[in-house]
Amino acid sequence: MKMEIGVIGAGTMGSGIAQVAAQSGHKVWLFDTNQAALDKASASLYKIMSRLVEKGKMSREEADTVIARINHCTDYQSFSKCGLVIEAIIENLEIKKKVFIALENEVSDNCILASNTSSLSIASIAASCNKPERVVGIHFFNPAPLMPLVEVVPAVQTSKENLDRAKELINSWKKITVVTKDTPGFIVNRVARPFYGEAIRIYEEGIADMATIDWAMKEIGGFRMGPFELMDYIGNDINYTVTETVWIAFYYDTRYKPSFTQKRMMEAGYLGRKTGRGYYNYAEGAQNPEPDKNQVVGEAIVWRILIMLINEAADALHLNIASAADIDLAMTKGVNYPKGLLRWADEKGIQNVLDGLDKLYLAYHEERYRASVLLRQKAAFEQKFYS
């Protein structure tokens, strides 16, 4: 008999994780203090499963079985038989700590307690518990049922046994796991910062408008979505908060400095698709600007953003955040990049990437353009990331 799974938070992410666990054969307890959120999650799940039936991906009977595996609850006592409980609530460290303190009193001694945080310290969350060795980060990407990547994040307190158990469990859910060090943003939200930040900088400098930058990154760069489209999809409130969290957590390193452009969008309530207005207008019949399809400008935009992304990936490898293979896997499976950034660096030539960064640093004299020491070492010895 498969272990029972607990999920805290019936929002999009929490209900998505509950669906993944239920589809993998587990009895799931989905907790929320808001009954309306639970009702909404239930209606949404029925709609999703019905769509899978319509597409012929499962029978109605199989869909109903998955739905029946998810039980709603409004108290932690329902988690008493769970082998794993994962929280997917607001990105607020103090609130998460309170949840874990309360949770520990209701679960069995061998239950793994996990956080789906995208950027907060797992060590801080674990420190609030009497048994910190059973706390681990298990970071899904939205939408959880569709996105294959899960970042598994051991805190300094996490036991190897519990790390292995968590990884093995998530792998059994047909997910691709990467193990990452407990540092701000882990792999994906750390390495991806320049995709948004440098795009906004290019826009702020008047080099190109949003539509042109998005066109360049998609048509020339091969990315599935442009930076401004993606920020509107994620939500400018969420994207800005993650950027600010990473920036503060890295002791205000200017590489991660948030932009006033995005802050003003957030303050104006222009959060993107969910509010009908973001960098683009999503109202029916709205006319959005057409891109200037100048190939030379487009290639310059892609190169500038790409070398910044490669620099972040190289620095993550240099600081042992994860292996080269896991960093590349995380970026291709977690945010759908067309290639792994370190493999891309090998293709473009590490010396070329370094020259591009040094040119930017010479022009701006800003720390955001400082090249990773690992890039300098690789270039100096004519090495590649992959032999």
Is the peptide bond prior to 143 cis by the omega test (within 30 degrees of 0)?
Answer: yes
Q: Which of 15, 24, 116, 118 is catalytic?
A: 118
Q: Which of 4, 87, 104, 151 is catalytic?
A: 151
| Active-site residue, 318 included | no
| Active-site residue, 189 included | yes
The pLDDT, as a whole number, for residue 88 is 96
Q: Which of 72, 116, 128, 139 is catalytic?
A: 139
- Mutual orientation of helices 341-348 and 295-318 as an angle, nearest 10°? 120
| Active-site residue, 121 included | no
The pLDDT, as a whole number, for residue 94 is 96
> Residues 231, 239: contact at Cβ < 8 Å?
yes
Q: Which residues of the chain have pLDDT under 50?
A: none
The pLDDT, as a whole number, for residue 387 is 87
Spell out the domains of the chain, with CATH numbers in brackets.
Answer: 4-179 (3.40.50.720), 190-380 (1.10.1040.50)
| Active-site residue, 139 included | yes
The pLDDT, as a whole number, for residue 346 is 98
| Rounded Cα gap, residues 307 and 230, in angstroms | 19
Q: Which of 162, 189, 239, 372 is catalytic?
A: 189
The pLDDT, as a whole number, for residue 119 is 83
The pLDDT, as a whole number, for residue 108 is 96
